[in-house]
Structure 1
């Protein structure tokens, strides 16, 4: 390459440098907006509204649940909107989960990164009633954050790891389901059975496989059975009657949805990378397989054997996906309009401002009068 060509390239890079710096600055500003909205504004507005709605429970649980589900749907919409900002697009393969959207189901997904949440919420947003009536099982690192307070208000369950606490935590989860699943009219229970993101548990997956004399998976991990078994032991169909749950006289959980998330070329972005616009392969694929719940799955060993087989299939699905760039079958594109995105942001900003103006600020001033 000649000196003149090198000089010309350097000049072009220097000319574009201010433009790139401006783009990075704008990306940081917009990312800061999404951070404030997601971590503070939306949780504050949501929890405040839920608190004010509590008296409705005295008169009608039906109407309380209806309003709370609408509010939860709007929270889901905000996450979808922020996912859209990152450039996220989702293609669905396999069974059509719209057919069981209004049924009670256990949703099991492999866990690759924090962006998984955005992918699933994007997939849920066009399924009637799913987003408003789901219950998430979440690792308790988030419990003490504003997001955790909001998720607790909705009734999500926070689970703690560790073999020493396993029995106690699972009993708490079963009690949570007994006391809340039907009372607050939940539909789907959503969880990541592997326990954590794949890159964090690859070594433990190898150790687990060696200990049990089985082959380790490459693209997912053997699922932990405890939480899924707890759901089916409480909400699954009774052996005596397929129309009743194992606990109480309530209608049972009817389906298990096995969800396989795949990122192009296996490159899972970090949350910061995605929000700053540095995510170049943002077309995520999701494959679903719907299974009718069987009463015998209330037996933990039987359920474990079945789930291990499903995750063996999942590992092969991901192997083929990373090789070909697609799952079997025809893709179904999830769409989300920018206009709806804007409306959702206006909804949450307006709701927060209303709470702030009507009672948060006056209450704060009242308290400060006793301090100063």
Structure 2
């Protein structure tokens, strides 16, 4: 009997997965398409000196886009739980977010977590692998001015120079607040063996549930968002290529570092395929916050590197306990796990907005095509 039930459940997953796939593909078409068209149509605002207005509109639509991604995991029953420090006081301040990286599901679940807070997603900048530039969502990230970092040891120095340039030319002028960084530089399953060899060679702690974090991007961000260092380097160069022609008084200092530990049930990460097809049973992913005022973070490079490594060693211990006991070790004053509550009515309204907008654009292009055809023939 149990075997028959399992067979029936498996057979049910096939049409369910196909339906979800078709819906998500369609969702991509009418959301990404209309977002891109609006941003192109409104581009003259930038050229006429209304950049703030342009990016305020873009930020709102970007939030709506990420709400669609949040809906995919919510619809599949993959709930997100929050625990740890209260992050209310950093929501509108310049904040660097660092998180462990386990799978392709990390980013969609972070989007689902941030979706319920209106201050974050319109004013966020993601630092992601350059390969994502060529995915379906790449055009959205390009327009939003996210940063695509090149992987590989040979490209590391160049990538950091490009990151510094992007912070000065895009992140600061656009008044972005939150900056998302995965210091491990890749997924756990891909980096684990190499990380453990590196740790053994350099007498570093052996890590199973995280990998040794890379420090280059963190150092670059801390240097760029420090008015004192900008003043010292003004009219000089980073390396040999990037000239800092920025007024240090316009640099808003980084105020917080938010350390997020992503903990999947039993250490089994959700991946993008599971989110798309929904074949994994409903489960809860835990986001544990640890908020550090910048005054508590070391400034000199060596101490900062050690501080970051200590955060990852701490993650290792906490995840080990969580996977063994099912209970995450929290500080005495920490917030207990509470669900991130999504708003299904808002999802519905956003779908209707994107669909109506797509219909409008189709009608405009159809009318333009017929008018051009009339003129030609």
**Equivalent residue of 2:126, what SS?**
strand
Cα deviation for residue 298 of structure 1 reads 5.0
| Partner residue, 1:44 | 33
CA contact (8 A) 1:138 1:159 kept: yes
Which of 318, 332, 336 pairs up with 2:338?
Answer: 332
Using the alignment, how far apart are the partners of 2:59 and 2:158 within structure 1? 30
CA contact (8 A) 1:113 1:268 kept: yes
| Partner residue, 1:231 | 221
| Partner residue, 1:301 | 302
| Partner residue, 1:135 | 125
**Equivalent residue of 1:62, what SS?**
helix
Using the alignment, how far apart are the partners of 1:107 and 1:365 within structure 2? 50
Are positions 1:273 and 2:274 aligned together? yes
| Partner residue, 2:347 | 341
Using the alignment, how far apart are the partners of 2:292 and 2:19 within structure 1? 44
Deviations 1:4-29 (A, max 9, x none): xxxxx49x939974x86355213311
Cα deviation for residue 215 of structure 1 reads 1.9
**Equivalent residue of 2:204, what SS?**
coil
TM-score (norm 1): 0.87
Deviations 1:203-254 (A, max 9, x none): 111111022111221111111111121111101353799xxx9972222111
When residues 92 and 14 of structure 1 are mapped into structure 2, their CA distance, relative to the original with a 3 A threshold, is closer
Cα deviation for residue 349 of structure 1 reads 2.1
Using the alignment, how far apart are the partners of 2:327 and 2:175 within structure 1? 36
Using the alignment, how far apart are the partners of 2:373 and 2:13 within structure 1? 42
Using the alignment, how far apart are the partners of 1:20 and 1:332 within structure 2? 31
Which of 180, 185, 202 pairs up with 1:212?
Answer: 202
| Partner residue, 1:95 | 85
Matches within 5 A, 1:1-372: 9=1, 13=4, 17=8, 21-38=11-28, 40-57=29-46, 58-238=48-228, 248-249=248-249, 250-280=251-281, 282-294=283-295, 297=298, 299-327=300-328, 328=330, 329=334, 330-359=336-365, 361=366
How many residues matched?
A: 356
Using the alignment, how far apart are the partners of 2:371 and 2:135 within structure 1? 26
254-263 or 231-240, which moves further after superposition?
231-240
| Partner residue, 1:3 | none
Deviations 1:100-155 (A, max 9, x none): 11000110011111111121111111223101110000101121233111101000
Using the alignment, how far apart are the partners of 2:228 and 2:340 within structure 1? 36
CA contact (8 A) 1:229 1:297 kept: no
Unaligned runs of 5+ in 1: 1-8
**Equivalent residue of 1:309, what SS?**
helix
When residues 190 and 365 of structure 1 are mapped into structure 2, their CA distance, relative to the original with a 3 A threshold, is farther
Using the alignment, how far apart are the partners of 1:186 and 1:51 within structure 2? 21
**Equivalent residue of 1:99, what SS?**
helix
When residues 234 and 89 of structure 1 are mapped into structure 2, their CA distance, relative to the original with a 3 A threshold, is same
CA contact (8 A) 1:92 1:331 kept: yes
**Equivalent residue of 2:248, what SS?**
coil
**Equivalent residue of 1:256, what SS?**
strand
Using the alignment, how far apart are the partners of 1:169 and 1:86 within structure 2? 36
**Equivalent residue of 1:146, what SS?**
coil
342-351 or 112-121, which moves further after superposition?
342-351
Unaligned runs of 5+ in 2: 232-243
